[in-house]
Structure 1
Amino acid sequence: MRVAVCQMNARDDRTVNLAAARDLLGRAAAAGATLAVLPEYVDYLGPGPGMPKPEPVDGEFSAFFAEAARELGIWVHAGSFHEAGPDPERTFNTSLIFNPAGELVETYRKIHLYDVEIPGRVSYQESRSVAPGERAVVTEIAGVPTGLSICYDLRFPELYRRLAIDGAKMLVVPAAFMMHTGRDHWEVLLRARAIENQCYVVAAGQIGDHEPGRTCFGRSMIIDPWGTVVAQAPDGVGIVCADIDLSRLENLRTELPSLANRRL
């Protein structure tokens, strides 16, 4: 099947963000994509005080992308959005997957949260405003077993190995990787996850500036199970596509049976 990664620059206007996402999905469908993947936080990237009220899974955000999937006749991975959380202080960072009939077929809540404390340099606690998910998810997208993850999850290889053991042949990574880490780590980590788990990796990123004073790296890409980057977005808003070839994946797993040979 053909997969498209949609690279966008979400900012602090939810209406504008959703319109931009819908345009990218339309471009993906026109390019023949069976599946289009959007980046992390499609709904809003901006100052905390200006964030729209978080929604439940069956809210307006979900309805918007259900309609888009139905109108375009494609699978839509709606990146992630701010889902209403377990208490007033925290949201979930949640992915929604829709089939071509516009039906919500799976959700995933980001498990790993970025908490760092370096005296005199940086203090950031994602867990103060985001609640962690607790469920690793493999779901079928157009018949392909697909493992779900979001952004910072990428740094935890044990999650992806679990997804591969659970049958994943494709791993999806919507993200908003920051520029200073993305330029050194983004491609390296994505290729490592592809190689060690012998899976296709489909990674859609945010790109460009957003408030407060942050810049996302972009470089959305699709990587085959050998670790070869088969499609990569240039530094701007847009889409790139590649074909997922499961026969190639099975041949690689047969010729280099590292998953079958594992002992732990």
Structure 2
Amino acid sequence: MNQIYRLNTPTTKIHSFPLLRFRASLSVTGDSTMSTNSVRVAAAQMTSITDLAANFTTCSRLVKEAASAGAKLLCFPEAFSFVGTNDGDSVRIAQPLDGPIMDQYCSLARDSSIWLSLGGFQEKGSDPQHLLNTHVIVDDTGKIQTTYRKIHL
């Protein structure tokens, strides 16, 4: 696999993946020039901790690096915003999609003009004892375009 960009962290890389009509090409190109019908997509790898603010700072840095490298979509892993160490931590910090945590990520997408694929957000549901593991797609204007509530929890 030919690396196009290397971000400032040793485990994070951006590769060029041509996307045509929501269908990904099976090959990775080493050419830094892209055709007019392709989109640069970045994948972020990070280690989330129990500190929401620190995780947002890391995500913010990765978003800015990806956007400056020309990415139009950045995909974050599951549990990007928080990983609890004790039982109940995630339930305790869960917020609705219109809460302040998601508002920060929507603002980040808007300010950086980049789409975000947020792999797993701890969404507060109607049952206060359980959370929803929600995949969220935010567009480059900061609007949530779609969500998928994973059913394995």
1:17 aligns with 2:94: no
Q: Secondary structure at the match of 1:79?
A: strand
1:32 aligns with 2:70: yes
- Counterpart of 1:65 (choices 85, 88, 105) is 105
Aligned pairs (5 A) from 1:104-119: 104-111=144-151, 113=152
Distance in 1 (alpha carbons) for counterparts of 2:89 and 2:147:
25
Which letter does structure 2 place at the counterpart of 1:90?
H
Distance in 2 (alpha carbons) for counterparts of 1:26 and 1:79:
18
Aligned pairs (5 A) from 1:143-162: none
1:54 aligns with 2:57: no
RCO comparison, higher one (Cα < 8 Å, 6+): 1
Could you say which residue in structure 2 is the equivalent of 1:77? Answer: 117
Distance in 2 (alpha carbons) for counterparts of 1:12 and 1:99:
26
Q: Which runs of 4+ in 1 moved over 3 A?
A: 49-52
Distance in 2 (alpha carbons) for counterparts of 1:28 and 1:8:
14
Is the radius of gyration larger for structure 1 or structure 2? 1
User: Post-superposition shift, 1:49?
Assistant: 3.9
- Structure 1: 5+ residue stretches without partners: 114-129, 131-264
CA distances 1:142-172 after superposition (whole Å, capped 9, x unpaired): xxxxxxxxxxxxxxxxxxxxxxxxxxxxxxx
Root mean square deviation, CA, Å: 1.3
1:88 aligns with 2:128: yes
Aligned pairs (5 A) from 1:208-223: none
Higher strand share: 1
Distance in 2 (alpha carbons) for counterparts of 1:34 and 1:44:
24
What is the TM-score normalised by the length of structure 1?
Answer: 0.41
How many residue pairs are counted as aligned between the two chains? 113
Q: Secondary structure at the match of 2:93?
A: coil
Identity of aligned residues (%): 35
Q: Secondary structure at the match of 1:23?
A: helix
Could you say which residue in structure 2 is the equivalent of 1:7? Answer: 45
User: Post-superposition shift, 1:35?
Assistant: 0.4
Distance in 1 (alpha carbons) for counterparts of 2:150 and 2:76:
15
